[in-house]
Amino acid sequence: MADKVKVGIIGSRFEADIHAAAFRIMPEEAEVVAVASPTAGHAEALAQRYGIPRIFRDYREMLRERDIEMVTITAPNLFHAAMTVDIAGAGKHVVCEKPLCMTLEEAGLMIDTCRKKGVLLLYAEELFFTPKYVKAKEMADQGAFGKVYLVKQSEKHFGPHSAWFWDMERSGGGALMDLGCHGIAFCYWFLDRSPVKSVLCQMGTYVHGDKTRGEDNAVCILEFGNGAVGMVEDSWARRGGMDDRIEVYGEDGVAYANLLMGNALPAYSEHGYGYAVEKAPTTRGWSYPVFEELWNYGFPQEMRHFARCVRGKEEPAATGEDGQVVMEVLYAGYASAGRGEKINLPFRPDGVKKPIDLWHPE
């Protein structure tokens, strides 16, 4: 078997670019050899930017390439489950972007199929690899804060870059599904995967009602089995670009981490310049350009880890099971907002097509 894990990417836009860049930043363990995407021109452009030799329209054709060992899914949420089943069926390891899928049934199917086929289902939650957040967890694990009773994570910006996010049929939900999946995973991971006992959630569509049925702001409180509380706040309605932060409160200490501002150089420009940071509305006036953006998020570290898992050098730190827990909490969150009450877990409603249906039936 070749030294480097050969990788194929499904999708060719925003997150595909991040995956390709991540493998380029840490190239020791893996190389991207193929990209598959249905829209003419996009796959070619990605391939050209990153020197990816093989291009496919249909990802199923890419799965016939014998040397590819790991395939990353960066397509809209609606397709994650079917793609995972196809990739596993071709005997290749799966890296699935967040959120894992649309339904709880799909989550079970994805996990079962990968297990039966003997391939890894790796859940692409980069916050498990975000250096600043990893440092906070290491400190908590060393007892820096005493017993942690509250963990917060929030991600906010003015809304996603592609039309499909706003279309609930393809995304499954709004800000909670898109961004809250990070916060839920983060709190669960930070608290050593203590089981989630209950979810209380409020959400609304405050500024983007003209373009989506999805919620553009959500506040979610999780109670964990170990007695700690998680608080997850997400927005597609926040002006001023991207905000991603955590807070950790313990009996004996506290820590705050602002992922982007803390890694930025405050700058003022009359003229503007090329690029500041994801979703920054402008580079004129005051802006906060971030250096080593992907590194600060942990994407290269995440992809390197996944490649090492394929080679058996490391145990998966982010799995389909993590994604499944997040899906259950998302379902409970939308149900909580819909009913106006706290939802206790386990919560496994049958036959619901997408999380948002529990808040906002069509």
Ligand X SMILES: NC(=O)c1ccc[n+]([C@@H]2O[C@H](COP(=O)([O-])OP(=O)(O)OC[C@H]3O[C@@H](n4cnc5c(N)ncnc54)[C@H](O)[C@@H]3O)[C@@H](O)[C@H]2O)c1
Residues that bind ligand X (CB under 6 A): 10-16, 37-39, 42, 59, 74-77, 79, 97-98, 124, 126, 162, 164
Residue corresponding to tokens 């599904």? 177
Closest approach, Cβ 258 to ligand X, in A, equals: 17
Pick the closest to residue 215 from 76, 7, 311, 354 (CA basis).
Answer: 354
Closest approach, Cβ 43 to ligand X, in A, equals: 7
Closest approach, Cβ 334 to ligand X, in A, equals: 17
What tokens does 31 get? 């190389």
Specify the DSSP element, H or E, that contains 37: none
Closest approach, Cβ 1 to ligand X, in A, equals: 27
The whole-angstrom distance between residue 191's C-alpha and the CA centroid of its chain comes to 18
The whole-angstrom distance between residue 57's C-alpha and the CA centroid of its chain comes to 25
Closest approach, Cβ 352 to ligand X, in A, equals: 19
Closest approach, Cβ 98 to ligand X, in A, equals: 5
Helix, coil or strand: residue 157:
coil
User: What is the C-alpha separation between 10 and 16, in angstroms, rounded?
Assistant: 7
Rank residues 14 and 286 by Cβ distance to ligand X and give the closer one. Answer: 14
Rank residues 157 and 208 by Cβ distance to ligand X and give the closer one. Answer: 157
Are 21 and 294 spatial neighbours (Cβ–Cβ below 8 Å)?
Answer: yes
The four Cα atoms 305, 132, 171, 76 give a dihedral, to 10 degrees, of -40
Rank residues 123 and 224 by Cβ distance to ligand X and give the closer one. Answer: 123
> Which residue type is seen at 261?
M
Rank residues 36 and 237 by Cβ distance to ligand X and give the closer one. Answer: 36
User: What is the C-alpha separation between 235 and 214, in angstroms, rounded?
Assistant: 11
Closest approach, Cβ 347 to ligand X, in A, equals: 22
Rank residues 216 and 223 by Cβ distance to ligand X and give the closer one. Answer: 216
Closest approach, Cβ 24 to ligand X, in A, equals: 17
Q: Phi and psi dihedrals of 170, rounded to 5?
A: -100, -25
Q: Is the Cα torsion angle 51, 53, 56, 62 positive or negative in sign?
A: negative
The whole-angstrom distance between residue 298's C-alpha and the CA centroid of its chain comes to 12
Are 304 and 30 spatial neighbours (Cβ–Cβ below 8 Å)?
Answer: yes
What tokens does 92 get? 């290749």
Closest approach, Cβ 108 to ligand X, in A, equals: 19
Rank residues 13 and 308 by Cβ distance to ligand X and give the closer one. Answer: 13
Q: Is the Cα torsion angle 354, 355, 357, 360 positive or negative in sign?
A: negative
Rank residues 126 and 293 by Cβ distance to ligand X and give the closer one. Answer: 126
Rank residues 63 and 345 by Cβ distance to ligand X and give the closer one. Answer: 63
Residue corresponding to tokens 């705050």? 256
Helix, coil or strand: residue 218:
strand
Rank residues 12 and 263 by Cβ distance to ligand X and give the closer one. Answer: 12
CA-CA distances (angstroms) from residue 125 to 98, 169, 186?
Answer: 6, 23, 9
